[in-house]
Amino acid sequence: MSIRWSLVIPVKTLVAAKTRLAAATGPHRTRLAVAVACDTVSAALSCPLVARVVVVTADPAAAGPLAALGADVVHDPDRGLNTALRTGAAHAVRLAPDAPVGALQADLPALRPAELAAVLAAAAEHDQAFVPDALDVGTTFYGVRPGVPFTPRFGGESRAKHLAGGAKELDLPGIDSVRRDVDTPGDLRAAVALGLGRHTAAVVADLRLSPASPDGETGPG
């Protein structure tokens, strides 16, 4: 039987979420942030190697919709991203001491359950492992085997931090949707090209996104 994971997904207070998308999204910014988190959680819960999703948030506007999808919501102590992740991981270990625990960024609106399953299967072969973001600077997933200290190092150049901490970088083909986090209008367009989840697609349908320029930079429509 395949190992099934507990995944911890941190969701910011919506007033602070996706500020770099403000010019492109206007009054839809907080709605988009909720939609992206909903698609991330939905895809994770649909993954056959995921037993449970623990969402860590202090925002009731996000907590309600995510709990309705089936996530187990715990309160964010508001002491930074890695503290939030450790809080969620501790809760997950109380629920399932023998399950591996992973941290997954909340802004993966094109996430595919099969691609996440490939990541989790590979991560289960290592004490700690991670997936870099599409820019090879940040991190979208970090996970540990049962009993291994959960030491996430998200924030800034977290790829380098996770490597320095001894985590195995997972260099897998065909996991673009796991690596495509969304912080900027250009990121959002790249996610659109991969295929959005239904919640995000409904919001994006109300936006007017200009096409990417030849140099890859994008501006608000």
Which amino acids are annotated as binding site for phosphoenolpyruvate, given as ranges?
139, 155, 158
Question: What does the alpha-carbon distance between residue 132 and residue 178 come to, in Å, rounded to a whole number?
Answer: 9
**Bridge partner list, 165:** none
Q: Under 8 Å CB-to-CB from 185, ≥6 apart: which residues? A: 21, 23, 24, 209, 218, 219, 220
Q: What are phi and psi of 97, to 5 degrees?
A: -60, -25
For residue 134, give Cα distances in angstroms to 93, 149, 179.
Answer: 29, 26, 5
For residue 81, give Cα distances in angstroms to 89, 151, 164, 202, 206.
Answer: 12, 12, 19, 28, 30
- Which amino acid belongs to residue 102? G
What the block records as the tokens of 185 is: 């209008």
Question: What does the alpha-carbon distance between residue 130 and residue 102 come to, in Å, rounded to a whole number?
Answer: 9
Annotated binding site: 139, 155, 158
